[in-house]
Amino acid sequence: MEYIDMKKSIAIAAIGLMLAACGHYRVLRVEVLRPAALEPVGESFLFIDRGVVHEGDALQAGELRAALGVDRAELLDCLYDGLRGGLSWGGKEVERATMPRVIVADSCLPPPMTPAEVDSAAGERRVTHLVTADYCRFRREGREVDLEGNVLLRVYDRSTGALLDTLVSDRLAAEVEIAGEDYRGSIREFFYQKGWSLAEYLCPTWTPTERRIYLGRPLLDVGNYFLERGDDARAAEMWTAALKRGRGLAARAAANLAWLLERDGDFEEAIALLEQALERNAGPRAYIRERLQSLRQRLEDSEKLMNQLNE
């Protein structure tokens, strides 16, 4: 029973329904739990700005501030705010510290901290991991601003002082387009998203996504009626009956049933159902293929999540 409960806890959480139907389906706004890339997963973190500034950045700082309204400190503030928000969403905590500013040559790559330096930086804080911002480069060439790969981050194990990973910021996702009138706001949002992506790397996090419930035929619509009223068993009954009808209807019913199975953590059964639907060569084949890919990834992730949540 404990295993089944854990499966359901990592499966999916619905956070709202889109009221408008489109293309004979409605969209469910949901969240899925994704595993962390970091192993083992940390419980609490210390984010440290090592204060390293390259000479070229120091010389351009005033120009950038005047032209764009942002500077290095503000960008790291946004990165940290995103990190804090993402870790909080995953139930983790983070503190912040800043080292004295140091100007270095443009060609200088700051070396990793030694175990003794990690221990000294952490001090009496009860944290499991340290994340250091080893530099934040913010260059402007003419009218172009270079943002990708401009932050160097390192992750350390607090107990051993060992370096676990080195991350350049282009490994962290951000979907903001740096354009338009609010250039400063776009840059700030860009770095906030980088911080949130860093949190997703460090710990399991809930990620927003979408699922479809197909409509447009009586059995599909009646099943949706019961689903909206919390009667999943009756909804499943309607959609199971639809599996015996025409190929297109059966494929759509399978997609709806796969949602119920995925929500309960029954990934293998959902995959088998959608594979059968795809063999019918009818219905929303592109969506079914997309769902199969996602479910196979979730099945692969589930064992990793079980281990991370039980650490």
Q: pTM of this prediction?
A: 0.70
Q: What is the pLDDT of residue 177?
A: 61
Residues 277 and 291: their CA atoms lie apart, in Å, by 12
Would you state the pLDDT for residue 208? 81
- Do 203 and 90 contact (CB within 8 A), yes or no? yes
Q: What is the pLDDT of residue 38?
A: 77
- CATH number for region 2-34+213-310: 1.25.40.10
Is pLDDT of 7 > 80? Answer: no
Structure tokens at 160: 């051993």
* Residue of 311 and 22 predicted with greater confidence: 311
Looking at residue 84, its pLDDT comes to 93
Q: Kind of pairing, strands 151-157 and 163-168?
A: antiparallel
Per cent of the chain over pLDDT 90 is: 47
pLDDT at residue 94, rounded to an integer: 93
**pLDDT tens digit sequence for 186-225:** 788 888 988 998 998 888 878 888 999 999 999 999 999 9
Delimit the domains of the chain by residue range.
2-34+213-310, 44-205
Give me the pLDDT at residue 146, please.
Answer: 61
> Between 254 and 197, where is the model more confident?
254
Q: What is the spatial distance between Cα 163 and Cα 127, in angstroms, rounded to a whole number?
A: 15
Among the listed ranges 21-25, 87-91, 147-151, 241-245, which one has the minimum average pLDDT value? 21-25
The pLDDT tens digits for 138-181 are 666 655 566 656 788 999 999 999 999 998 877 777 665 655 56
Angstrom distance (rounded) from CA 304 to CA 40: 10
What are the residues whose beta carbons fall under 8 Å from the beta carbon of 32, sequence distance 6 or more? 11, 12, 13, 206, 207, 209, 298
Position 145 scores a pLDDT of 60
Please check the confidence at residue 112 and state whether its pLDDT lies above 70. Answer: yes
Query: Residue 97 pLDDT > 90, yes or no?
Result: yes
CA dihedral angle for residue 155, residue 98, residue 105, residue 60, rounded to 10 degrees: 120
DSSP bridge pairs for 211: 28
* Cα 104 from Cα 179, distance rounded (Å): 31
